[in-house]
């Protein structure tokens, strides 16, 4: 038997709500934890997220526009600031104190817009995942994307914490021999903030994406390092060096290097956003190499989505029916346990508050 597959929301944690460059183009409508939201940046450059519902007649604010003092409702023109306070009502000077909407804390950093959906008193910006590779676009040129997936967000965490699926699901791109994946040397640890693993496939055949990227003509020593950070982030460094370069002693040598950020943000109990950013660490001076990597990764993740949406549909029919655990689940199980511990703590706090 194994842990449950559909997890409830963990509210006290930072989730990705949008990419910064999405806000450059205007406001973004997102549903997070069942709440329709508008994420936007005001004209002073401050990012915020407010509920997508005007307090006047309930119109969606996402059909409004960004004006000098904030976000203007597209129905009768009320304006709200990033704290959700109404700052302007056309035709009257008096703004009643009840004229406000829910607002959530947003922090824009390293090209991410992070949102805090939990108790505002606990929103510690020091707990935001650090992703320094976004600060080095020359060394790590990257592309970002956001996808909608019809599955519980933790199914996506599971997917990334068990890479034995690569040899079955991603044969055309980053896969490789299923046996090499299943027999990879695996080192897994629980951390204060989640779980970490590194797996090595020594002297193995490079998969198609690696050959295209770095031109390997012979076997490689290949690693995949993944760290899960509560509640919904995974930071990945994958790569390969030619056999004989002693990759285990020093991975920072010329070869194939790929950094990926994965952000899992719950929309509803059975849908999520998948924010990902993929960085080319092998032919940095060639924009077409970064594009090629993106063009390989995109359909690779679509392959995951096909599995995940099918899995969600099956599991949701009988959510309490136990599943069977296998050896390959070890990192996924650590991530789930960290998550469960945080969830229990959060539920304990809310019981105490009541």
Residues that bind ligand FES in the complex, under the rule CB under 6 A: 54, 56-57, 59, 73, 75-78
Q: Which is nearer to ligand FES, 73 or 195 (CB)?
A: 73
DSSP single-letter state for residue 111: T
Q: How far is 185 from 207, CA to CA, in rounded Å?
A: 18
Choose from ligand FES, Fe ion, none: what does 304 bind? Cβ within 5-8 Å by kind.
Fe ion
Token duo for residue 208: 């198609």
149-178 burial string, b = 16+ CB within 10 Å, else e?
bbbbbbbbbbbbbbbbbbbebbeebbbbee
Bridge partners (DSSP) listed for residue 109: 112
Nearer to Fe ion, 186 or 342 (CB): 186
332 binds, among ligand FES, Fe ion, none (CB under 5 to 8 A by kind): none
The entry of Fe ion, ligand FES, none near residue 200 (CB within 5 to 8 angstroms by kind) is none
Could you give the CA distance from residue 37 to residue 80 in angstroms, rounded to a whole number?
13
Q: Minimum distance between the CB of residue 56 and ligand FES, rounded to whole angstroms?
A: 3
Residue of minimal CB distance from Fe ion? 304
- Pick the closer one to ligand FES by CB: 53 or 142: 53
H or E element at residue 299: helix 287-317
Residue 38 contacts which entry, ligand FES, Fe ion, none (Cβ below 5-8 A, type-dependent): none
Please state the closest distance from residue 15 (CB atom) to ligand FES, in A. Answer: 27
Residue 57 near which of Fe ion, ligand FES, none (CB within 5-8 Å, type-dependent): ligand FES
Residues with Cβ < 8 Å from 112, sequence gap 6 or more? 16, 19, 20, 131, 134, 263, 275
Q: In angstroms, rounded to a whole number, what is the distance separating the alpha carbons of residues 160 and 163?
A: 6
The listed partner (Fe ion, ligand FES, none) that binds 59, CB under 5 to 8 Å by sort, is: ligand FES
Smallest distance from ligand FES to CB 337, Å: 45
Q: In a 3-state reduction of DSSP, which class is residue 310?
A: helix
Least distance between ligand FES and beta carbon 181 (Å): 54
Contacts of 242 (CB under 8 A, 6+ apart): 216, 218, 220, 221, 255
The site partner of 54 among ligand FES, Fe ion, none (C-beta below 5 to 8 Å per kind) is ligand FES
Q: Which of these segments, 36-44, 111-119, 265-273, 301-309, binds Fe ion (CB under 5 A)?
A: 301-309
Measured from the CB atom, the residue of 71 and 157 that comes closer to ligand FES is 71
At closest approach, how far in Å is the CB of 160 from Fe ion? 7
Between CA 208 and CA 265 the distance in angstroms is 30
Which H or E run contains 178? helix 178-182
Q: How many residues does the chain have?
A: 354
Min CB(154)–ligand FES separation in Å: 36
| Least distance in angstroms from the C-beta of 86 to ligand FES | 9
- Is 304 among the residues that bind Fe ion (CB under 5 A)? yes
* Residues within the interface to Fe ion (CB under 5 A): 304
């Amino acid at each position: 038997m194994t842990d449950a597959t559909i997890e409830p929301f963990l509210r006290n944690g930072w989730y990705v709500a949008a990419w910064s460059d999405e806000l450059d183009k205007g406001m973004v409508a997102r549903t997070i934890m069942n709440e329709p939201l508008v994420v936007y940046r005001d004209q002073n450059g401050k990012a915020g997220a407010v509920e997508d519902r005007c307090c006047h007649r309930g119109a969606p604010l996402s059909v409004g526009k960004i004006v000098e003092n904030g976000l203007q409702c597209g129905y009768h023109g009320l304006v709200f600031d990033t704290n959700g306070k109404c700052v302007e009502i056309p035709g009257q000077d008096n703004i009643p104190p009840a004229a406000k909407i829910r607002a959530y804390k947003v922090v824009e950093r390293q090209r991410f817009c992070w949102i805090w959906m939990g108790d505002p008193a606990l929103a510690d910006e020091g707990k935001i995942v650090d992703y320094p590779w976004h600060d080095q676009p020359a060394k790590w040129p990257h592309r970002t994307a956001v996808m909608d997936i019809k599955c519980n967000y933790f199914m996506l965490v599971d997917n990334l914490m068990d890479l034995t699926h690569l040899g079955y699901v991603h044969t055309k791109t980053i896969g490789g021999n299923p046996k090499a994946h299943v027999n990879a040397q695996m080192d897994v640890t629980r951390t204060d903030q989640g779980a970490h693993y590194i797996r090595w496939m020594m002297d193995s055949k490079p998969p198609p994406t690696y050959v295209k990227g770095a031109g390997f003509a012979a076997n490689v020593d290949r690693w995949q390092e993944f760290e899960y950070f509560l509640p919904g982030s995974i930071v990945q460094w994958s790569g390969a060096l030619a056999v004989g370069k002693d990759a285990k002693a020093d991975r920072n040598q010329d070869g194939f290097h790929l950094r990926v950020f994965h952000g899992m943000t719950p929309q509803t109990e059975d849908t999520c956003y998948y924010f990902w950013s993929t960085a080319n660490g092998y032919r940095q001076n060639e924009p077409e190499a970064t594009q090629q990597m993106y063009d390989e990764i995109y359909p690779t993740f679509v392959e995951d989505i096909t599995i995940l949406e099918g899995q969600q549909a099956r599991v949701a029919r009988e959510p309490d029916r136990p599943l069977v655990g296998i050896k390959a689940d070890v990192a996924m199980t650590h991530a789930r346990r960290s998550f469960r511990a945080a969830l229990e703590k959060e539920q304990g706090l809310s019981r105490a508050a009541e």
